Chains A and B, each alone.
Chain A
Amino acid sequence: MDGVMNWLTQDRVGSALVKVLLVGNVAPMLVAFLVWLERRVAAWAQDRMGPNRVGPFGLLQSFADLIKFLLKEDVLPGHVNKAMYLVAPCLAVIPPLVVLALVPFADRFAIADVDTGILAAFAFSGIGVYAIALGGWASNSKYALIGAVRASAQLISYEICLGLAALGVFIVAGTLRLEDVVKMQADGFTIHGETLHGISKFFDWNIVKQPIGAIIFLIAAFAETNRTPFDLPEAESELAAGYHTEFSSMKFALFFLGEYVAIVAMSSLFTTLYLGGWTLFGVENAFEGTTAQTLLQILIFLAKTMCVIFTFIWVRWTVPRFRYDQLMDLGWKRLMPATLAWLAATACVVAFLK
Protein backbone atom coordinates (compact mmCIF):
# COMPACT_ATOMS: atom_id res chain seq x y z
CA MET A 1 0.00 0.00 0.00
CA ASP A 2 2.93 2.37 0.47
CA GLY A 3 3.16 2.41 -3.27
CA VAL A 4 0.01 4.52 -3.48
CA MET A 5 1.74 7.52 -1.92
CA ASN A 6 4.65 7.29 -4.35
CA TRP A 7 2.33 6.79 -7.26
CA LEU A 8 0.32 9.85 -6.22
CA THR A 9 3.41 12.00 -6.34
CA GLN A 10 5.06 10.47 -9.40
CA ASP A 11 2.45 9.50 -11.96
CA ARG A 12 1.06 13.00 -12.29
CA VAL A 13 -1.42 12.43 -15.10
CA GLY A 14 -2.92 9.23 -13.72
CA SER A 15 -3.14 10.49 -10.15
CA ALA A 16 -4.65 13.76 -11.30
CA LEU A 17 -7.42 11.89 -13.12
CA VAL A 18 -8.11 9.70 -10.10
CA LYS A 19 -8.21 12.75 -7.82
CA VAL A 20 -10.53 14.59 -10.20
CA LEU A 21 -12.94 11.66 -10.22
CA LEU A 22 -12.66 11.23 -6.45
CA VAL A 23 -13.24 14.86 -5.49
CA GLY A 24 -15.77 15.39 -8.27
CA ASN A 25 -17.90 12.56 -6.95
CA VAL A 26 -17.34 12.99 -3.24
CA ALA A 27 -18.30 16.68 -3.31
CA PRO A 28 -21.89 16.10 -4.59
CA MET A 29 -22.22 13.20 -2.14
CA LEU A 30 -21.13 15.51 0.65
CA VAL A 31 -23.73 18.00 -0.56
CA ALA A 32 -26.43 15.34 -0.29
CA PHE A 33 -25.39 14.72 3.30
CA LEU A 34 -25.20 18.45 3.90
CA VAL A 35 -28.76 19.09 2.76
CA TRP A 36 -29.94 16.39 5.15
CA LEU A 37 -27.81 17.89 7.95
CA GLU A 38 -29.18 21.36 7.24
CA ARG A 39 -32.76 20.16 7.48
CA ARG A 40 -32.12 18.15 10.61
CA VAL A 41 -30.35 21.02 12.34
CA ALA A 42 -33.14 23.37 11.24
CA ALA A 43 -35.67 20.99 12.73
CA TRP A 44 -33.66 20.75 15.91
CA ALA A 45 -33.39 24.54 16.12
CA GLN A 46 -37.14 24.93 15.63
CA ASP A 47 -38.11 22.04 17.90
CA ARG A 48 -39.61 19.73 15.27
CA MET A 49 -38.68 16.38 13.73
CA GLY A 50 -37.21 17.13 10.29
CA PRO A 51 -36.76 14.46 7.60
CA ASN A 52 -36.63 11.08 9.38
CA ARG A 53 -38.47 8.60 7.16
CA VAL A 54 -36.23 7.80 4.16
CA GLY A 55 -33.47 5.50 5.36
CA PRO A 56 -31.91 5.52 8.84
CA PHE A 57 -32.43 8.95 10.49
CA GLY A 58 -33.74 10.16 7.12
CA LEU A 59 -30.21 9.98 5.68
CA LEU A 60 -31.43 9.00 2.22
CA GLN A 61 -33.83 11.95 2.02
CA SER A 62 -31.53 13.87 -0.34
CA PHE A 63 -31.39 10.96 -2.76
CA ALA A 64 -35.16 10.71 -2.76
CA ASP A 65 -35.24 14.44 -3.49
CA LEU A 66 -32.74 13.96 -6.32
CA ILE A 67 -34.94 11.31 -7.94
CA LYS A 68 -37.90 13.65 -7.61
CA PHE A 69 -35.93 16.46 -9.28
CA LEU A 70 -34.97 14.13 -12.13
CA LEU A 71 -38.55 13.01 -12.70
CA LYS A 72 -40.07 16.49 -12.65
CA GLU A 73 -41.00 18.05 -15.95
CA ASP A 74 -38.26 20.23 -17.43
CA VAL A 75 -40.20 23.34 -18.38
CA LEU A 76 -38.57 25.82 -20.71
CA PRO A 77 -40.84 28.88 -20.36
CA GLY A 78 -41.56 30.87 -23.48
CA HIS A 79 -40.71 34.26 -22.05
CA VAL A 80 -37.07 33.65 -21.11
CA ASN A 81 -33.80 34.44 -22.84
CA LYS A 82 -33.04 30.81 -23.74
CA ALA A 83 -29.25 30.78 -24.05
CA MET A 84 -28.60 32.59 -20.78
CA TYR A 85 -31.38 30.68 -19.05
CA LEU A 86 -29.60 27.40 -19.82
CA VAL A 87 -26.07 28.65 -19.14
CA ALA A 88 -26.88 30.04 -15.68
CA PRO A 89 -27.40 26.71 -13.83
CA CYS A 90 -24.15 25.36 -15.30
CA LEU A 91 -22.29 28.44 -14.10
CA ALA A 92 -23.77 27.94 -10.65
CA VAL A 93 -22.20 24.51 -10.20
CA ILE A 94 -18.93 24.43 -12.13
CA PRO A 95 -16.96 27.36 -10.59
CA PRO A 96 -17.42 26.34 -6.92
CA LEU A 97 -16.56 22.77 -7.91
CA VAL A 98 -13.31 23.97 -9.47
CA VAL A 99 -12.42 25.86 -6.27
CA LEU A 100 -12.29 22.45 -4.61
CA ALA A 101 -9.60 21.44 -7.11
CA LEU A 102 -7.25 24.00 -5.55
CA VAL A 103 -7.72 23.03 -1.91
CA PRO A 104 -5.08 20.72 -0.42
CA PHE A 105 -7.06 17.96 1.33
CA ALA A 106 -3.90 16.26 2.59
CA ASP A 107 -0.14 16.49 2.22
CA ARG A 108 0.55 16.52 -1.54
CA PHE A 109 -3.11 15.82 -2.24
CA ALA A 110 -4.38 19.00 -3.91
CA ILE A 111 -5.73 18.20 -7.36
CA ALA A 112 -3.85 21.19 -8.72
CA ASP A 113 -1.06 22.45 -6.48
CA VAL A 114 -0.73 25.88 -8.07
CA ASP A 115 1.75 28.44 -6.75
CA THR A 116 -0.87 31.16 -6.70
CA GLY A 117 -3.58 28.80 -5.52
CA ILE A 118 -5.60 31.34 -3.59
CA LEU A 119 -5.80 33.76 -6.51
CA ALA A 120 -7.15 31.03 -8.77
CA ALA A 121 -9.63 30.00 -6.07
CA PHE A 122 -10.94 33.55 -5.68
CA ALA A 123 -11.05 33.97 -9.45
CA PHE A 124 -13.26 30.91 -9.84
CA SER A 125 -15.50 31.72 -6.90
CA GLY A 126 -15.90 35.20 -8.38
CA ILE A 127 -17.49 33.71 -11.50
CA GLY A 128 -20.38 32.54 -9.31
CA VAL A 129 -21.98 36.00 -9.51
CA TYR A 130 -22.68 35.45 -13.21
CA ALA A 131 -24.86 32.43 -12.48
CA ILE A 132 -27.20 34.45 -10.30
CA ALA A 133 -27.09 37.67 -12.30
CA LEU A 134 -27.68 35.89 -15.62
CA GLY A 135 -30.18 33.42 -14.21
CA GLY A 136 -32.24 36.17 -12.63
CA TRP A 137 -32.13 38.46 -15.63
CA ALA A 138 -32.76 35.77 -18.26
CA SER A 139 -35.85 34.53 -16.40
CA ASN A 140 -37.73 37.66 -17.46
CA SER A 141 -39.58 37.68 -14.18
CA LYS A 142 -39.74 40.61 -11.80
CA TYR A 143 -38.96 38.63 -8.67
CA ALA A 144 -36.00 37.00 -10.35
CA LEU A 145 -34.74 40.33 -11.67
CA ILE A 146 -34.83 41.97 -8.25
CA GLY A 147 -33.07 38.93 -6.79
CA ALA A 148 -30.37 39.15 -9.45
CA VAL A 149 -29.84 42.87 -8.91
CA ARG A 150 -29.50 42.35 -5.19
CA ALA A 151 -27.15 39.43 -5.71
CA SER A 152 -24.82 41.36 -8.00
CA ALA A 153 -24.45 44.19 -5.50
CA GLN A 154 -24.05 41.81 -2.59
CA LEU A 155 -21.54 39.43 -4.17
CA ILE A 156 -19.23 42.10 -5.52
CA SER A 157 -19.29 44.06 -2.26
CA TYR A 158 -18.32 41.14 -0.07
CA GLU A 159 -15.82 39.71 -2.53
CA ILE A 160 -13.46 42.56 -1.70
CA CYS A 161 -13.74 41.95 2.04
CA LEU A 162 -13.16 38.25 1.42
CA GLY A 163 -9.96 38.92 -0.49
CA LEU A 164 -8.66 41.58 1.88
CA ALA A 165 -9.36 39.45 4.95
CA ALA A 166 -7.51 36.48 3.47
CA LEU A 167 -4.60 38.78 2.61
CA GLY A 168 -3.64 38.94 6.29
CA VAL A 169 -2.95 35.21 6.28
CA PHE A 170 -0.61 35.53 3.33
CA ILE A 171 1.25 38.43 4.90
CA VAL A 172 1.93 36.23 7.93
CA ALA A 173 2.70 33.18 5.78
CA GLY A 174 4.81 34.94 3.16
CA THR A 175 3.56 32.63 0.41
CA LEU A 176 0.49 32.25 -1.78
CA ARG A 177 0.60 28.44 -1.97
CA LEU A 178 -2.21 26.96 0.05
CA GLU A 179 -0.15 23.87 0.87
CA ASP A 180 2.60 26.04 2.37
CA VAL A 181 0.01 28.02 4.33
CA VAL A 182 -1.16 24.77 5.91
CA LYS A 183 2.38 23.60 6.65
CA MET A 184 3.21 26.95 8.21
CA GLN A 185 0.34 26.49 10.64
CA ALA A 186 1.70 23.09 11.67
CA ASP A 187 5.31 24.11 12.33
CA GLY A 188 5.30 27.82 12.04
CA PHE A 189 6.54 29.87 14.91
CA THR A 190 8.21 29.59 18.26
CA ILE A 191 7.62 31.12 21.67
CA HIS A 192 10.79 32.08 23.57
CA GLY A 193 12.84 30.02 21.14
CA GLU A 194 10.91 26.85 21.83
CA THR A 195 8.87 25.12 19.17
CA LEU A 196 5.34 24.30 20.15
CA HIS A 197 4.35 20.72 20.89
CA GLY A 198 1.10 18.81 21.22
CA ILE A 199 -2.09 20.70 21.89
CA SER A 200 -0.28 24.04 22.24
CA LYS A 201 0.29 23.86 18.48
CA PHE A 202 -3.18 25.36 18.36
CA PHE A 203 -1.49 28.75 18.73
CA ASP A 204 0.08 28.18 15.32
CA TRP A 205 -3.31 28.24 13.66
CA ASN A 206 -4.10 31.40 11.78
CA ILE A 207 -7.41 31.78 13.60
CA VAL A 208 -5.33 32.64 16.68
CA LYS A 209 -2.95 34.92 14.80
CA GLN A 210 -5.65 36.49 12.62
CA PRO A 211 -8.84 36.47 14.71
CA ILE A 212 -10.44 39.59 13.19
CA GLY A 213 -9.43 38.49 9.70
CA ALA A 214 -11.01 35.09 10.30
CA ILE A 215 -14.29 36.59 11.48
CA ILE A 216 -14.46 38.97 8.52
CA PHE A 217 -13.60 36.14 6.13
CA LEU A 218 -16.41 34.04 7.60
CA ILE A 219 -18.94 36.88 7.33
CA ALA A 220 -17.91 37.56 3.74
CA ALA A 221 -18.13 33.83 3.03
CA PHE A 222 -21.73 33.81 4.31
CA ALA A 223 -22.51 36.67 1.93
CA GLU A 224 -20.69 35.07 -1.01
CA THR A 225 -22.66 31.86 -0.65
CA ASN A 226 -26.01 33.70 -0.25
CA ARG A 227 -26.60 32.24 3.17
CA THR A 228 -28.82 33.79 5.80
CA PRO A 229 -28.36 36.50 7.14
CA PHE A 230 -27.37 37.51 3.59
CA ASP A 231 -29.86 35.49 1.53
CA LEU A 232 -31.49 38.53 -0.05
CA PRO A 233 -31.17 37.22 -3.63
CA GLU A 234 -33.67 34.47 -2.84
CA ALA A 235 -35.50 36.01 0.11
CA GLU A 236 -38.52 33.72 0.02
CA SER A 237 -40.84 35.93 2.05
CA GLU A 238 -40.56 38.82 -0.40
CA LEU A 239 -39.38 37.49 -3.77
CA ALA A 240 -41.07 34.06 -4.14
CA ALA A 241 -37.78 32.21 -4.68
CA GLY A 242 -35.70 35.12 -5.96
CA TYR A 243 -33.34 34.49 -8.85
CA HIS A 244 -34.39 30.86 -9.39
CA THR A 245 -38.16 31.42 -9.32
CA GLU A 246 -38.50 30.46 -13.00
CA PHE A 247 -36.25 27.40 -12.88
CA SER A 248 -37.71 23.93 -12.59
CA SER A 249 -36.60 20.31 -12.38
CA MET A 250 -32.83 19.67 -12.67
CA LYS A 251 -32.13 23.28 -13.54
CA PHE A 252 -33.34 24.30 -10.11
CA ALA A 253 -31.52 21.33 -8.57
CA LEU A 254 -28.27 22.58 -10.10
CA PHE A 255 -28.70 26.00 -8.49
CA PHE A 256 -29.40 24.21 -5.23
CA LEU A 257 -26.35 21.98 -5.68
CA GLY A 258 -24.21 24.95 -6.64
CA GLU A 259 -25.12 26.81 -3.47
CA TYR A 260 -24.11 23.89 -1.30
CA VAL A 261 -20.94 23.13 -3.26
CA ALA A 262 -20.04 26.79 -2.73
CA ILE A 263 -20.55 26.29 1.00
CA VAL A 264 -18.27 23.24 0.95
CA ALA A 265 -15.69 25.20 -1.06
CA MET A 266 -15.77 28.23 1.24
CA SER A 267 -15.62 26.04 4.34
CA SER A 268 -12.62 24.13 3.03
CA LEU A 269 -10.92 27.42 2.16
CA PHE A 270 -11.60 28.64 5.70
CA THR A 271 -10.22 25.38 7.10
CA THR A 272 -7.12 25.70 4.95
CA LEU A 273 -6.46 29.34 5.70
CA TYR A 274 -7.39 29.58 9.38
CA LEU A 275 -7.87 26.15 10.95
CA GLY A 276 -4.62 24.44 9.99
CA GLY A 277 -5.96 22.42 7.06
CA TRP A 278 -5.17 18.73 7.34
CA THR A 279 -2.97 19.10 10.45
CA LEU A 280 -4.04 18.35 14.00
CA PHE A 281 -1.37 18.89 16.66
CA GLY A 282 0.97 16.30 15.10
CA VAL A 283 -1.66 13.54 15.02
CA GLU A 284 -1.68 13.82 11.24
CA ASN A 285 1.78 12.23 11.04
CA ALA A 286 0.75 9.08 12.95
CA PHE A 287 1.33 6.72 10.02
CA GLU A 288 4.38 8.36 8.50
CA GLY A 289 4.78 7.77 4.78
CA THR A 290 1.90 5.34 4.29
CA THR A 291 -1.45 5.53 2.57
CA ALA A 292 -3.09 5.49 5.99
CA GLN A 293 -1.44 8.85 6.69
CA THR A 294 -3.06 10.42 3.64
CA LEU A 295 -6.43 8.94 4.59
CA LEU A 296 -6.09 10.20 8.17
CA GLN A 297 -5.21 13.68 6.92
CA ILE A 298 -8.23 13.71 4.62
CA LEU A 299 -10.41 12.63 7.55
CA ILE A 300 -9.02 15.41 9.76
CA PHE A 301 -9.62 17.91 6.97
CA LEU A 302 -13.18 16.70 6.45
CA ALA A 303 -13.92 16.82 10.18
CA LYS A 304 -12.72 20.43 10.42
CA THR A 305 -14.64 21.39 7.29
CA MET A 306 -17.79 19.82 8.72
CA CYS A 307 -17.39 21.97 11.83
CA VAL A 308 -17.24 25.10 9.69
CA ILE A 309 -20.22 23.93 7.65
CA PHE A 310 -22.13 23.37 10.88
CA THR A 311 -21.37 27.00 11.75
CA PHE A 312 -22.92 28.02 8.42
CA ILE A 313 -26.10 26.10 9.25
CA TRP A 314 -26.13 27.24 12.86
CA VAL A 315 -25.92 30.90 11.85
CA ARG A 316 -28.63 30.43 9.24
CA TRP A 317 -31.15 29.30 11.82
CA THR A 318 -30.11 31.88 14.41
CA VAL A 319 -29.78 35.24 12.66
CA PRO A 320 -32.61 36.96 10.74
CA ARG A 321 -32.15 38.38 7.26
CA PHE A 322 -30.64 41.82 6.63
CA ARG A 323 -32.43 44.55 4.70
CA TYR A 324 -30.78 45.52 1.40
CA ASP A 325 -29.47 48.89 2.58
CA GLN A 326 -28.28 47.38 5.87
CA LEU A 327 -26.37 44.79 3.88
CA MET A 328 -24.55 47.40 1.81
CA ASP A 329 -24.01 49.48 4.93
CA LEU A 330 -22.37 46.54 6.71
CA GLY A 331 -20.23 45.66 3.71
CA TRP A 332 -18.89 49.06 2.75
CA LYS A 333 -19.09 51.16 5.93
CA ARG A 334 -18.27 48.58 8.56
CA LEU A 335 -16.39 45.59 7.16
CA MET A 336 -14.34 47.44 4.55
CA PRO A 337 -12.69 49.95 6.92
CA ALA A 338 -12.30 47.24 9.56
CA THR A 339 -10.58 44.94 7.07
CA LEU A 340 -8.28 47.69 5.82
CA ALA A 341 -7.35 48.66 9.38
CA TRP A 342 -6.72 45.04 10.36
CA LEU A 343 -4.62 44.55 7.22
CA ALA A 344 -2.54 47.64 7.97
CA ALA A 345 -2.02 46.48 11.57
CA THR A 346 -0.99 42.97 10.50
CA ALA A 347 1.42 44.30 7.88
CA CYS A 348 2.78 46.79 10.41
CA VAL A 349 3.53 44.06 12.95
CA VAL A 350 5.16 41.85 10.31
CA ALA A 351 7.17 44.71 8.79
CA PHE A 352 8.38 46.55 11.87
CA LEU A 353 8.56 43.92 14.59
CA LYS A 354 10.27 41.06 12.76
Chain B
Amino acid sequence: MPQDTLNQDFATILVFLVFGALFVIANMVLVGRLIRSKTKYTEGKSTVYECGEPTFGSAFVRFDIRFYVLAVVFAIFDVEVVFLFPWAAVMKSLGPVAWLEAAAFVGVLGVGLAYIWRKGDIDWIPAHGHTRQAGKTLPGELTTVPTDGVPAATIPAIATPAVAEAR
Protein backbone atom coordinates (compact mmCIF):
# COMPACT_ATOMS: atom_id res chain seq x y z
CA MET B 1 0.00 0.00 0.00
CA PRO B 2 1.43 3.42 -0.91
CA GLN B 3 2.56 5.69 1.89
CA ASP B 4 -0.11 8.37 1.45
CA THR B 5 -2.97 5.85 1.61
CA LEU B 6 -1.55 4.43 4.81
CA ASN B 7 -1.33 7.89 6.33
CA GLN B 8 -4.89 8.54 5.22
CA ASP B 9 -6.04 5.43 7.06
CA PHE B 10 -4.34 6.47 10.24
CA ALA B 11 -5.84 9.94 9.74
CA THR B 12 -9.24 8.24 9.68
CA ILE B 13 -8.45 6.61 12.99
CA LEU B 14 -7.57 10.05 14.30
CA VAL B 15 -10.96 11.34 13.11
CA PHE B 16 -12.58 8.46 14.95
CA LEU B 17 -10.57 9.29 18.07
CA VAL B 18 -11.78 12.89 17.91
CA PHE B 19 -15.34 11.64 17.42
CA GLY B 20 -14.98 9.39 20.46
CA ALA B 21 -13.57 12.24 22.55
CA LEU B 22 -16.41 14.56 21.55
CA PHE B 23 -18.94 11.83 22.27
CA VAL B 24 -17.51 11.26 25.73
CA ILE B 25 -17.17 14.93 26.63
CA ALA B 26 -20.68 15.73 25.37
CA ASN B 27 -22.11 12.95 27.50
CA MET B 28 -20.02 13.48 30.59
CA VAL B 29 -20.04 17.24 30.78
CA LEU B 30 -22.60 18.96 28.56
CA VAL B 31 -25.84 17.01 28.17
CA GLY B 32 -26.24 16.15 31.81
CA ARG B 33 -25.45 19.68 32.95
CA LEU B 34 -28.17 21.06 30.70
CA ILE B 35 -30.99 18.80 31.83
CA ARG B 36 -30.34 17.83 35.42
CA SER B 37 -31.66 19.87 38.27
CA LYS B 38 -29.55 21.82 40.72
CA THR B 39 -28.52 19.83 43.77
CA LYS B 40 -27.11 20.91 47.08
CA TYR B 41 -23.57 19.90 47.94
CA THR B 42 -23.38 18.27 51.34
CA GLU B 43 -20.46 17.05 53.37
CA GLY B 44 -21.60 13.44 53.19
CA LYS B 45 -21.35 13.32 49.42
CA SER B 46 -17.63 13.91 49.48
CA THR B 47 -16.82 11.00 51.77
CA VAL B 48 -15.44 7.67 50.66
CA TYR B 49 -18.04 5.01 50.00
CA GLU B 50 -17.30 2.05 52.21
CA CYS B 51 -20.75 0.60 52.71
CA GLY B 52 -21.68 3.12 55.42
CA GLU B 53 -18.70 2.49 57.64
CA PRO B 54 -16.71 5.63 58.51
CA THR B 55 -13.35 5.27 56.80
CA PHE B 56 -10.02 5.76 58.41
CA GLY B 57 -6.92 6.77 56.53
CA SER B 58 -6.36 7.50 52.86
CA ALA B 59 -6.12 4.89 50.12
CA PHE B 60 -2.97 6.64 48.87
CA VAL B 61 -0.71 4.47 51.01
CA ARG B 62 2.02 1.92 50.49
CA PHE B 63 0.22 -1.14 49.29
CA ASP B 64 1.45 -4.69 48.82
CA ILE B 65 1.07 -5.11 45.07
CA ARG B 66 1.19 -8.83 44.48
CA PHE B 67 2.66 -10.22 41.27
CA TYR B 68 4.70 -7.09 40.57
CA VAL B 69 7.48 -9.23 39.08
CA LEU B 70 4.95 -10.36 36.49
CA ALA B 71 4.60 -6.75 35.34
CA VAL B 72 8.26 -6.81 34.30
CA VAL B 73 7.84 -10.20 32.69
CA PHE B 74 4.78 -8.86 30.89
CA ALA B 75 6.81 -6.08 29.31
CA ILE B 76 9.28 -8.62 27.94
CA PHE B 77 6.61 -10.98 26.65
CA ASP B 78 4.55 -8.21 25.12
CA VAL B 79 7.55 -6.98 23.16
CA GLU B 80 8.08 -10.59 22.11
CA VAL B 81 4.53 -10.74 20.75
CA VAL B 82 5.06 -7.51 18.82
CA PHE B 83 8.26 -8.94 17.31
CA LEU B 84 6.48 -12.14 16.36
CA PHE B 85 3.73 -10.43 14.36
CA PRO B 86 5.93 -9.49 11.37
CA TRP B 87 7.46 -12.96 11.61
CA ALA B 88 3.99 -14.53 11.39
CA ALA B 89 3.23 -12.54 8.24
CA VAL B 90 6.26 -13.90 6.34
CA MET B 91 6.39 -17.32 8.00
CA LYS B 92 4.87 -19.10 4.98
CA SER B 93 7.44 -17.86 2.48
CA LEU B 94 10.52 -18.29 4.68
CA GLY B 95 9.82 -21.85 5.79
CA PRO B 96 11.82 -24.01 8.25
CA VAL B 97 14.63 -21.47 8.83
CA ALA B 98 12.13 -18.92 10.15
CA TRP B 99 10.60 -21.56 12.40
CA LEU B 100 13.97 -22.47 13.92
CA GLU B 101 14.91 -18.84 14.51
CA ALA B 102 11.59 -18.03 16.18
CA ALA B 103 11.85 -21.23 18.22
CA ALA B 104 15.23 -20.11 19.55
CA PHE B 105 13.83 -16.63 20.30
CA VAL B 106 10.72 -17.92 22.08
CA GLY B 107 12.75 -20.69 23.72
CA VAL B 108 14.91 -18.17 25.57
CA LEU B 109 11.80 -16.43 26.87
CA GLY B 110 10.30 -19.80 27.71
CA VAL B 111 13.30 -20.48 29.93
CA GLY B 112 12.62 -17.14 31.61
CA LEU B 113 9.02 -18.15 32.22
CA ALA B 114 10.16 -21.47 33.66
CA TYR B 115 12.57 -19.57 35.94
CA ILE B 116 9.96 -17.26 37.48
CA TRP B 117 7.60 -20.21 37.73
CA ARG B 118 10.20 -22.18 39.70
CA LYS B 119 11.11 -19.13 41.76
CA GLY B 120 7.48 -18.83 42.82
CA ASP B 121 6.67 -15.38 41.42
CA ILE B 122 3.46 -16.66 39.88
CA ASP B 123 2.32 -18.05 43.22
CA TRP B 124 0.29 -16.08 45.73
CA ILE B 125 2.96 -15.77 48.46
CA PRO B 126 6.26 -14.90 46.79
CA ALA B 127 7.91 -13.09 49.69
CA HIS B 128 11.45 -11.85 48.98
CA GLY B 129 11.97 -14.16 46.06
CA HIS B 130 11.80 -17.43 47.93
CA THR B 131 9.35 -20.22 47.43
CA ARG B 132 7.45 -21.33 50.47
CA GLN B 133 9.13 -24.26 52.14
CA ALA B 134 7.60 -26.67 54.59
CA GLY B 135 8.26 -25.79 58.22
CA LYS B 136 9.52 -22.28 57.45
CA THR B 137 7.58 -19.10 58.00
CA LEU B 138 7.59 -16.05 55.80
CA PRO B 139 8.36 -12.48 56.91
CA GLY B 140 5.23 -10.93 58.39
CA GLU B 141 3.78 -14.21 59.55
CA LEU B 142 3.24 -14.77 63.24
CA THR B 143 5.91 -17.04 64.63
CA THR B 144 4.83 -17.25 68.28
CA VAL B 145 1.70 -18.96 69.50
CA PRO B 146 -0.88 -16.36 70.60
CA THR B 147 -2.30 -16.48 74.12
CA ASP B 148 -5.65 -17.95 73.09
CA GLY B 149 -3.94 -21.10 71.88
CA VAL B 150 -4.76 -20.86 68.16
CA PRO B 151 -1.90 -22.34 66.08
CA ALA B 152 0.19 -19.57 64.53
CA ALA B 153 0.11 -20.90 61.00
CA THR B 154 -3.65 -20.34 60.65
CA ILE B 155 -3.49 -16.65 61.50
CA PRO B 156 -2.37 -14.40 58.66
CA ALA B 157 -0.62 -11.13 59.39
CA ILE B 158 -3.18 -8.35 59.04
CA ALA B 159 -1.78 -5.28 60.77
CA THR B 160 -0.29 -2.97 58.14
CA PRO B 161 1.70 0.20 58.96
CA ALA B 162 -1.02 2.35 57.35
CA VAL B 163 -3.71 1.05 59.67
CA ALA B 164 -1.49 1.46 62.69
CA GLU B 165 -0.70 5.07 61.76
CA ALA B 166 -4.32 6.00 61.22
CA ARG B 167 -5.25 4.73 64.63
Chain A residues with CB under 8 Å of chain B are 12, 16-17, 20-21, 23-24, 28, 69-75, 77-79, 86, 89-90, 93-94, 97-98, 101-102, 111-116, 118-120, 139-145, 149, 152-153, 156-157, 159-160, 163-164, 167, 170-171, 174-176, 240, 245-246, 249-251, 253-254, 324-325, 328-329, 332-333, 336-337, 340, 343-344, 347-348, 350-352, 354
User: CB < 8 Å: which of A74, A159, A333, A347 contacts B122?
Assistant: A333
In the complex, B95 has a CB within 8 A of chain A: yes
Question: B83-118 interface mask toward A, CB cutoff 8 Å, 1 = contact, 0 = none?
Answer: 011101111111110110011001000100100010
Give the shortest distance, in Å, between B120 (CB) and chain A (any CB).
12
CA distance A159 to B81 in the complex (A): 10
B80 to chain A, nearest CB (A): 8
Contact with A351, one of B1, B51, B71, B98 (Cβ below 8 angstroms) = B98
List residues of chain B with CB within 8 A of the CB of A21.
19
Q: Which one of B27, B59, B113, B117 lies within 8 Å of A144 (CB-CB)?
A: B59
Within the complex, which residue of B16, B36, B90, B124 is in contact with A70, where a contact is CB–CB below 8 Å?
B36
Task: Note all chain B residues with C-beta closer than 8 A to A254.
Answer: 24, 27-28
Complex alpha-carbon distance, A236 and B65, angstroms: 21
Q: Whole-angstrom distance between the alpha carbons of A70 and B37 in the complex?
A: 10
A101 pairs with B49, CB closer than 8 A: no
Contact of A332 among B9, B19, B70, B71 (CB under 8 A): B70
Instruction: Answer whether residue B150 sits at the interface, using C-beta atoms and an 8 A cutoff.
Output: no
Chain A residues with CB under 8 Å of B33's CB are 74
Count B-side interface residues using an 8 Å CB cutoff.
70
B6 interface residue per 8 A CB criterion = yes
Q: B98 — nearest CB in chain A belongs to which residue?
A: A351
Residue of A nearest to B51 (CB): A240
Q: Is the CB of A170 within 8 A of B49?
A: no
Q: Assuming A160-B77, A348-B99, is B88 touching A332 (CB within 8 A)?
A: no
Q: Which of B125-159 contact A (CB under 8 A)?
A: none
For the complex, give the distance between the alpha carbons of A350 and B81 in Å.
19
Bound-state CA distance A348–B117 (Å) is: 26
Which residues on B sit within 8 Å (CB–CB) of A344?
A: 103, 106
Residues in chain A near residue B46, CB distance under 8 A: 75, 77-79
Q: Is the CB of B77 within 8 A of A90?
A: no
Nearest chain B CB to A35 CB, angstrom units? 16
A20 in contact with B45 given A249-B32, A251-B28, A347-B99 (CB within 8 Å): no
Q: A145 to B59, Cβ gap below 8 A?
A: yes
CA distance A332 to B115 in the complex (A): 12
Point out the residues of chain B lying under 8 angstroms from A111, CB to CB.
Answer: 12-13, 16
Q: Contact: B66 with A153, CB < 8 Å?
A: yes
Give Cα A20–Cα B9 distance, bound, in whole angstroms: 12
Q: Of A71, A77, A174, A351, which one neighbours B99 at CB under 8 angstroms? A: A351
Q: In whole angstroms, how far apart are the Cα atoms of A5 and B13 in the complex?
A: 21
- Nearest Cβ distance between residue B56 and chain A, in whole angstroms? 10
- In the complex, which residue of chain B has the Cβ closest to the Cβ of A73? B39
Return 12 A-B CB contacts under 8 Å, by A number.
Answer: A24-B19, A24-B23, A97-B20, A97-B23, A98-B13, A115-B1, A140-B58, A143-B50, A170-B85, A171-B92, A328-B124, A352-B95
